[in-house]
A and B are shown apart, each in its own frame.
Chain A
Amino acid sequence: MNSRPMATIASSPRLRRQSEDTHAVSDLLELANDFPLLSRTVRGGKPLVYLDTGATSQKPESVLAAERTFNQTHNAAVHRGAHQIAEEATEAFEAARSGVAQFVGVDFDEIVWTKNATEALNLVTHGFLNATLGRGGSEASRYRLTSDDEIVVTELEHHANLVPWQELAAKTGARLRWIPVTEEGRIDLEQLDVITERTRVVAFTHASNVTGAITDVPRIVERAQEVGAYTVLDACQSAAHMPVDFHELGIDFAAFSGHKMLGPTGVGVLYGRKDLLQALPPFLTGGSMVEVVTMGETTFMPPPQRFEAGTQMVAQTVGLHAAVDYLSGIGMGQLSAHEDHLAGLMLEGLSAVPGVRVLGPTGSENRLAVVAFDVSGVHPHDVGQILDDQGIAVRVGHHCAQPVHRAFGVHASTRASAGAYTTSRDIETFIDGLHKVVRFFA
């Protein structure tokens, strides 16, 4: 692949200049200036403290510029047309695929573009469904499910990695089972015997969007492989915050989304091991994914095009390419260390706020800087409102994960989640703000 044809604004992440900071707590990274939105104020002139990265991340100037440049100079439909800008657009689109593939340690033709991670997971479940319905020929028979089969998920899942499997089970007659969570909010590895000889697929999260717990992926993959089950990983929270290598993890399929990793909305990614994608029947059908179409039937292209029906989100893939370049520029190890530091500050701060219970691991090992918590006697909506009044943006509700909230005995929670641009000052402001919440409702 050629390098991208557009000239993007070089916005390399800056390391913090130690000498200029008189603040008590030092940060490994000071990146907020790269993110235009973070300079705005909210609620009557208050500086924005953005702690809702787990829901969606802000985008650096380099990502915004990459999309703008593409639209201004290279916009054309991809994989068709013989003109110059069609070639440029196709090159940019495929270069983005290679860039993202490299970022997660896989080959370019193992990356499928989707609208978001939810669609990526539905692509997999519908692949199983269509195979069960007899589509995809003998190759696809490996995905056929019967009422003797079991699908295993976990109690920790986001609804996006639970509901599609419920639907698949309901449609095929396969039985849905799940691995419970521990009191600490981790997938309970003592209960991997839920995975049996009947298990055909194990779908689980790499890192919880509620508890922040990072899963011991190799343990689950090992157990799944013992029984010959496929593994499907929800990498939405992990891909944006820690080094991720799907080949090394040995996972079969994985899904993540652009907008959670400093990229645009409207683009998600499915990783599928090469031989598995080759055997998987398509989900969405139509233009761009076909070889020969007659009035009676159609043959489909090989992966990844087989799974990319219709006009693609080209500018967004280019934006996502800029985002992974930006993240690589920081270094995912460096970013992870920065966020570990922030997680530690959050947990320490929260432990001193009266009536606060963290829903998740209270130590900063093997967890992200994603911390959901309950404030005794104060509803999350009210917590979020008082924080918002101080310019602090957090998430309230069940964060699309009702079962894990139920496991903790609550219906909803407040969640603070950090990103590359978050600083220790943000965390201090948040903790101070939370003390005010408790005083307000005392």
Chain B
Amino acid sequence: MQQLYQQVILDNSRARSGEGELTAPHGQSFQVNPTCGDECTVQVAVENNRVSHLAWTGRGCSISQASLSLMYEMVDGEQLERVELLGETFRELIHNRGHELNPGKMEQLEDLSAFTGVGRYSARVKCALLGWMALRDALVQAQRSTSGPGQGPQTQA
């Protein structure tokens, strides 16, 4: 069980980063896990090809909450290209049935590598990916709606 519930996951599920709402997000997405009713909303602002602001709200198990919290820490302020790559690598890890990816990818994932064990439990895959699904969808919307640089949205909470 310690392999699944790594300390970094337990810590992030309790002291969560990035919870809140943006005043004027460029994109947002609501996702729900129908098997347990867990849900989250991820909001993003995109400026100069960067995720200039990210905020999320939601409820769920320790895996989903820690995933959202670490996603915020890894993604907020990052270049879009890197965010996309990180998402791809994280999805690959979670679908890898509990096995690590190559060392280069594990290094790229930083703290997200703590989720390796989740892949062993097929019922928990969706928990780890819920926030990332919302992020991907929110970014698609943001890229549609952004019309040049403007007043950056501010975090409210």
Q: Does A432 contact B (CB under 8 A)?
A: no
- B126's closest neighbor in chain A, by CB? A381
**B22 is an interface residue with CB less than 8 A from chain A:** no
Do A380 and B1 have beta carbons less than 8 Å apart?
A: no
Interface size class of B (residues with CB under 8 A): 10 to 19
A403-442 at interface with B (beta carbon < 8 Å): 405, 411-412, 440-441
Residue in chain B with minimal CB distance to A381 = B61
Least Cβ–Cβ distance between B72 and chain A, in angstroms: 19
Known: A379-B62, A385-B4. A411 touches B37 (CB 8 A): yes
CB atoms of A381 and B36 under 8 A apart:
yes
A411 and B59 contact, Cβ closer than 8 Å, known pairs A381-B127, A385-B4, A385-B121? yes
Contacts of B62 in A (CB 8 A): 379, 381-382, 441
Residue from the list A380, A386, A389, A440 in contact with B36, Cβ < 8 A: A380
CA distance A234 to B77 in the complex (A): 53
In the complex, A51 Cα to B30 Cα: how many Å?
33
Q: Chain A residues with Cβ under 8 A from B124's Cβ?
A: 381, 385
CB closest chain-B residue, reference A436: B1
Q: Is the CB of A412 within 8 A of B1?
A: no
Residue of A397, A398, A402, A440 with most partner-chain B CB within 10 A? A397
Of residues 52 through 88 on chain B, the ones whose CB sits less than 8 Å from some CB of chain A are: 59-63
Enumerate chain A residues within 8 angstroms of B127, measured Cβ to Cβ: 381
The one of B10, B38, B63, B121 in contact with A411, judged by C-beta atoms closer than 8 angstroms, is B38
B35 at interface by CB-CB < 8 Å: yes
Q: How far is the CB of B40 from chain A (nearest CB, A)?
A: 12
**Across-interface contacts of B10 in A (CB, < 8 A):** 441
Return A352 CB to nearest CB of chain B, in Å. Answer: 23
For B2, the closest partner residue in chain A by CB is: A440
In whole angstroms, what is the CA distance A298 to B127 when docked? 51
Instruction: State which of B4, B37, B121, B123 has its C-beta within 8 Å of the C-beta of A412.
Output: B37
A396 at the interface (CB under 8 A from B): yes
Distance, CA A405 to CA B38, complexed state (A): 13
Q: A381-B63, A385-B121 are in contact. Are A440 and B1 (CB under 8 A)?
A: yes
Q: Which residues of chain A from 214 to 264 have a CB within 8 Å of any chain B CB?
A: none
| Nearest CB in chain B: distance from A285 CB, A | 31
| Nearest 8 pairs of A and B residues by beta carbon | A381-B61, A379-B61, A397-B36, A411-B37, A389-B1, A398-B37, A412-B36, A412-B37
Which chain A residues have a beta carbon within 8 Å of chain B's beta carbons? 379-382, 385-386, 389, 396-398, 402, 405, 411-412, 440-441
